Amino acid sequence: MLQVAAVVRAKGDLRSGYNPAMTHIPSRSDPYAAIVDFYDLEHSGYEEDLDLYLNLALVTGDPVLELGCGSGRLLVPLADAGHRVTGLDVSAPMLDRARRSAGEAGVADLITLHESSMTEADQAAGGPFGIAIVALNGLMHLTTVEEQRAALTSIRRALDPRGQLVLDLLNPTPDALRALDQSVVHEGTWTLDDGTRVDKLAARRILPDLQRIETDLWYDRIGTDGTLRRVATAYRMRYVHRGELELMLELAGFAEWQIYGSYELDPFEDTSERLIVTAEVTPA
């Protein structure tokens, strides 16, 4: 799917004043390159899962590997708690933002950043790792079962013999998928310090035969003078059902695992919103 970032200046009709010279197309391999600033607006304050990872890292010990680390939402507090952390991501702009955040927080000496795919987790510097974290649907950004299996196998190789994997995924219930499968929806509004308004719009389509969620995103940045700058991107995700995930964990060589339905580690139920997995390299 084409990923486009377009800049439009208009007052009134959005089509008036369109300037082709101000249109640019980011790398097809990095849908987040154009929206780093907007991603942080939405996610930097999200902390519902933070205590889970801090507590598990305390139990399992250093070092920590976070896959799909993005702009450092988890890296910084994990390092601030004293852990040595390696963050892996395919997006160079997101890693640049993580590097800046680590420096601002004074924890850069505890964080190593690695630009790579999850399928190459075992090549990340700093291992073997005591815990590997794949947060907020990270595994779903690998869009084939082969890639997802390869990532789990590589993560297992990156862990030490007593290491633990933690996965956080959407539980793809029929209700959850129906709620996602809709045309353009307004998903949020933020006001920047200079008075600029940012609106997020999204459209998602579910392809059940491929277990795929196709997402288009638009961020409209509206200045105080009415000037509009629109940035658009698109990406695909592959959702995973519990039974399939357990089989992939077994094939990847994990010895045992637990399935939970929330960040508080409540028992997993058919209606749980999240599919949380903790998996061990060797039997307890």
The residue count for the chain: 284
In a domain, 209, yes or no: no
Q: How many domains does the chain have?
A: 1
For helices 242-252 and 145-158, what crossing angle results, to 10°?
50
In a domain, 177, yes or no: no
In a domain, 106, yes or no: yes
CB within 8 A of 252, min separation 6: which ones?
Answer: 149, 152, 153, 155, 156
* pLDDT band of 182, cuts 50, 70, 90: confident
User: What pLDDT sits at residue 16?
Assistant: 33
In a domain, 29, yes or no: no
Report in angstroms the alpha-carbon separations of 201 from 1, 38, 144, 204, 219: 17, 12, 26, 10, 6
pTM of the model: 0.87
In a domain, 235, yes or no: no
CB of 212 closer than 8 Å to CB of 238: yes
Q: Which of 28-37, 139-148, 160-169 has the lowest mean pLDDT?
A: 28-37
In a domain, 206, yes or no: no
Whole-number percent of the chain with pLDDT over 70: 89
In a domain, 123, yes or no: yes
CATH of the domain at 82: 3.40.50.150
Q: Which domain holds residue 114?
A: 43-172+243-280
In a domain, 253, yes or no: yes
pLDDT digits (tens, 9 = 90+) for 68-116: 999 999 999 999 999 999 999 999 999 999 999 999 999 999 999 999 9
